[in-house]
Amino acid sequence: MPMMVGKQAGGRDFRVRFVVISIVMGIALLLLIGRLYHLQIQRGAEFKEKGIDNFIKETRLPADRGMILDNRGRILVDSRPSYNVTLTPAFCQPSGKPKGYCLDEIIPRLATYLSLDADEVARVIEQYQRARRLERFRDFAVKVDVDLDSLDRFEANRLDLAGVDVVIAPHRRYRHGTLAAHVLGYMNEISGDELAGFEAQGTTHGYQLGDYIGRRGVERRFEGDLRGTDGTIKSVVDAKGRKNPDSDFLLADIDWLTPAKSGHNLVLSLSLPLQQVAEKAFERATAGAIVAVDVNTGFLLAVVSKPAYDPNKLTGRITRAELKAISEDPLEPLIFRVAQQHYHPGSTFKVVTALAGLEQGIISSTTGASCNGGYSLGKRRWRCHKDSGHGLVNLHTALAWSCDTFFYQAGDRMGVDPIADISRKLGLGRVPGLDLSPETPGVVPSVEYHNRITPGGYTKGLALNTSIGQGDNNVSPLQLAMAYAAIGNGGTLYKPQVVRRIEDGEGHLVRAIEPVVAGKLDIKPQSLALVVDGLRAVVNEPGGTAYSKRPKGLDVVIAGKTGTAQVIALGEKRVKKDQMEYFTRDHAWFAAFAPADAPEIAVVVLNEHGG
């Protein structure tokens, strides 16, 4: 019986506890439901607004672009800090503002404060409208390298510019202004068409509108090496893009920082001191080119194209008026005269005719000619530059005195094709392959060429014009420099190059660039030796056309050739009347290598309209 009573009491206690627990749980559930009702229904709109007021913003960390150095590590191009104004699309349209607020209010204000032109405004609008999904939380550049006056205007009105920031980013600096400008190149903004082209290939390569890209010279050619990889930094911000003070704590469990990776440095073959000497020597010239090349490797040591542009201006702030003046200048400063233009080589080409005659066996060291001031073929007479004539000449004196008559005779005897054959062996008639800008192949006249191009077809007189570097014969200064280098080194034609190696930021080798042989001349050594002997006489023997201009006190024997190239037509140049006299002058050439007995360097100088 007592046991029965105990069991009944235990059952009542259990039921009581169950009821109590159920009541407590019910009350808790009711409270939870009430709380949820309060939060979701009564204050739902308020908390929804607060919820969307916190976002993760992703900011780009621009990579440092690699430096460009001369052959001894002296800095030619680096980057300096600049102020860039950026816009994040997601924060440019704050809650509570009318639709289109960013387009109608923010961007027009930026245009005023930053003095944006119509093209810049159009680009900002396009980039804002292109942003989708997560891209809306990534900033893009509105304007780079903002000047201090514009920055002051911007900062004074910054509170009215939702989603707009100022960041410090690297901006390209060309330390020596116009020096070697066509080799170095410049940078400017990538276009929408270019970006669309990348996207069509399946990747933007990390570019976006507003980014800068190499345009010419090594900046373009080695863009992939120089550029580096941008990083990102994530932060928690409110709807206006303001950083949450607890951002670092809130993002502690994710990778909020991806460091930028700097681009690689280019070490050029150019020598800064030699480049400066070349530029100084060409100060008085209006236009032209200088090329200095290592005859045993093909690497360029100095390159001048005049007039030049200032890459700092083309890469940075330049007005429409300044850009118009550059593009419409009749001297065409954007043209890389070293490789992009071709000219009649004049008497510098006589080495080609001499080699062709020697290889054909119609010229030898003892072959003579009598120059009485010209050469007659049929009813026409071709004039020698010395009206009174040179008298009896041979190969040695014909090169030294630049006797046209000797080479007319050689051209008449062998015709144009043997000259064309040697021209091609020397790399003429095809692009050299420096690949810093568009390159001209020049023109190598042949029988086939004249039958295709010249009215009436090929005649013997055309060979006479070609033999002295006139007629349709055209070469670039770079082609001529590589040809003279090949003659000087004994018969190896190299591809011209200007970058020796690529290094990382610590100076460790990433990639070495080796000399590239473009061809062997397949010309008898004795033929080359006879021509070199004549070139030595040009500079070092009385009567030589360069004898009076040879450097005094220089303990180096130079072998070279002067040349004057006639200018026949102005073509489509926009030339003012007062400029006509200049543009109708002949071009002046000098091509050389030294030391004459064991050449190390070849130099070609073209003084455009300097004759």
Residue 167 falls in which region: left (phi positive, over 0), alpha (psi -120 to 50) or beta: beta
Residue-wise pLDDT tens digits, 294-334: 999 999 999 999 999 999 999 976 777 888 888 889 999 99
pLDDT reading at 572 higher than 50:
no
Q: What is the pLDDT of residue 192?
A: 80
d(CA 430, CA 291): 18
CA nearest neighbour of 591 among 445, 430, 503, 476:
476
CA 338 to chain centre: 14
- Can you list the positions of beta strands (E) in 308-371? 368-371
Report the chain's mean pLDDT, rounded to a whole number. 88
User: Both tokens of residue 56?
Assistant: 């993760």
d(CA 413, CA 408): 9
CA atoms within 13 A on the CB side of 603: 19
User: Which residues are within 8 A (CB) of 312 and not within 5 positions of it... i.e. 6 or more apart?
Assistant: 172, 173, 174, 177
> What sign does the dihedral 164-169-172-175 (CA atoms) show?
positive
d(CA 146, CA 17): 76
User: Which residues are within 8 A (CB) of 587 and not within 5 positions of it... i.e. 6 or more apart?
Assistant: 288, 343, 344, 346, 564, 565, 567, 606, 607, 608, 609, 610, 611
Q: What is the pLDDT of residue 218?
A: 98
d(CA 443, CA 12): 115
pLDDT reading at 533 higher than 90:
yes
- This prediction's pTM: 0.83
d(CA 69, CA 226): 12
User: Both tokens of residue 50?
Assistant: 């607060």
Secondary structure element (H or E) that encloses residue 517, with its range? strand 517-520
Q: What is the pLDDT of residue 568?
A: 58
Secondary structure element (H or E) that encloses residue 601, with its range? strand 601-607
Q: What is the pLDDT of residue 232?
A: 86
SS3 category, 592:
strand
Q: What percent of the chain has pLDDT over 90?
A: 64
Q: What percent of the chain has pLDDT over 70?
A: 86
d(CA 174, CA 315): 9
CA nearest neighbour of 408 among 445, 354, 452, 361:
354
Question: Phi/psi at 601 (nearest 5 deg)?
Answer: -135, 140
Q: What is the pLDDT of residue 571?
A: 44
pLDDT reading at 521 higher than 90:
yes
Q: What is the rounded average pLDDT of the residues 218-247?
A: 81
- Can you list the positions of beta strands (E) in 230-326? 231-237, 257-258, 265-268, 288-294, 300-306
d(CA 304, CA 275): 8
d(CA 218, CA 211): 18
User: Which residues are within 8 A (CB) of 98 and not within 5 positions of it... i.e. 6 or more apart?
Assistant: 104
pLDDT reading at 394 higher than 70:
yes
pLDDT reading at 214 higher than 60:
yes
DSSP state string for 287-307: SEEEEEEETTT-BEEEEEEES
- Which one-letter amino acid corresponds to residue 320? R
Report cis status (omega within 30 of 0) of the bond before 595: yes
pLDDT reading at 406 higher than 90:
yes
Report cis status (omega within 30 of 0) of the bond before 307: yes
Residue-wise pLDDT tens digits, 139-194: 888 998 998 888 898 888 888 888 899 988 899 999 999 999 999 999 988 888 88
CA 99 to chain centre: 43
- Which segment, 35-49, 138-152, 265-279, 553-567, is predicted with the most confidence on average? 265-279
Q: What is the pLDDT of residue 5?
A: 46
Residue reference for tokens 């102020």: 83
Secondary structure element (H or E) that encloses residue 79, with its range? strand 75-87
- Tell me whether residue 250 is exposed, middle or buried, using C-beta atoms within 10 angstroms of its C-beta: 0 to 12, 13 to 18, 19 or more: middle
Kindly report the CA angle at 309 between 303 and 314, in degrees rounded to 5?
Answer: 125
CA atoms within 13 A on the CB side of 34: 6
Q: What is the pLDDT of residue 10?
A: 54
SS3 category, 268:
strand
Residue-wise pLDDT tens digits, 16-63: 665 656 676 767 676 666 666 654 555 554 444 444 345 677 778 889
pLDDT reading at 270 higher than 90:
yes
Q: Given strand 257-258, what is the order of strands in its sheet?
A: 55-61, 231-237, 257-258
Q: How confident is the model at residue 244 (pLDDT cuts 50, 70, 90)?
A: low
CA 321 to chain centre: 23
CA nearest neighbour of 367 among 343, 386, 392, 350:
392
Residue-wise pLDDT tens digits, 285-301: 999 999 999 999 999 99
Residue reference for tokens 């007189």: 461
SS3 category, 53:
coil
Q: What is the rounded average pLDDT of the residues 481-499?
A: 99
d(CA 534, CA 536): 5
Q: What is the rounded average pLDDT of the residues 434-453?
A: 97
Q: What is the pLDDT of residue 53?
A: 44
Who has greater pLDDT, 609 or 222? 222
User: Both tokens of residue 259?
Assistant: 């460091």
Report how far apart, in Å, the C-alpha atoms of 548 and of each of 12, 247, 562, 589 are.
131, 77, 12, 16
Q: How confident is the model at residue 424 (pLDDT cuts 50, 70, 90)?
A: very high
- Tell me whether residue 213 is exposed, middle or buried, using C-beta atoms within 10 angstroms of its C-beta: 0 to 12, 13 to 18, 19 or more: middle
pLDDT reading at 7 higher than 60:
no
Who has greater pLDDT, 251 or 266? 266
- Can you list the positions of beta strands (E) in 194-353? 212-214, 231-237, 257-258, 265-268, 288-294, 300-306
